Amino acid sequence: MYKYLSLFAIAFIIVSCGVNKDTTSKNLESQAIKINANKNLIETRTEGVLTDNEGFKDIGSFKYSVFYDATTKDLSKIINIEIIDKSITESYYFADNKLFLIVSEAVQIPAKKIYVHNKKIISSESVEPEEQQLLLEKGIRFQKEFQNNYK
């Protein structure tokens, strides 16, 4: 009897977590849509050249845009575009100065999404674990750079 009750409890928890994960991801995507629609954000752009590890050979280019509130200086979004042999667009979304969503897109590849809470990945779509960690670290590094330059 206890064995079946335990199995039922575990199954219930797994199903409940799946529903919460779907609800959470929809809420975070809704928040990103609001940020994208906000025309009152200040945008700053930087463009440059990407070099090899030694810094001698040009291997591509980048475009980097930061979107933030002019009054509060709260970071809302960073878009990083890297063009090497293909173009990759990474969008990092922030609310209350916390990273909550990363979207990486390239031509003919499904969008990769990473949902974040308190600097930890809570869910992802179409992203390998190594790339998840790389994009998370990149988003945190971009946020620190923003805070050093704009606060």
Tens of pLDDT, residues 104-147: 999 888 999 999 999 999 999 999 999 999 999 999 999 999 99
If one counts the domains in the chain, the total is 1
Tens of pLDDT, residues 65-100: 999 999 999 999 999 999 998 899 999 999 998 999
Confidence of residue 23 (pLDDT cuts 50, 70, 90): confident
From residue 29, how far is each of 14, 22, 76 by CA, in Å? 23, 11, 13
pLDDT of residue 15: 40
DSSP state of 57: S
The two three-digit tokens of residue 87, written as one number: 């173009």
Q: What is the pTM of this model?
A: 0.82
Strands 98-106 vs 87-95: parallel, antiparallel or unpaired: antiparallel
pLDDT of residue 12: 39
| Domain of 60, in residue numbers | 2-150
pLDDT of residue 8: 38
Q: Which residue has the tokens 């928040």?
A: 31
pLDDT of residue 55: 80
Among left, alpha and beta (phi > 0; psi -120 to 50; other), residue 97 is: left
The yes-or-no verdict on residue 59 having pLDDT over 50 is yes
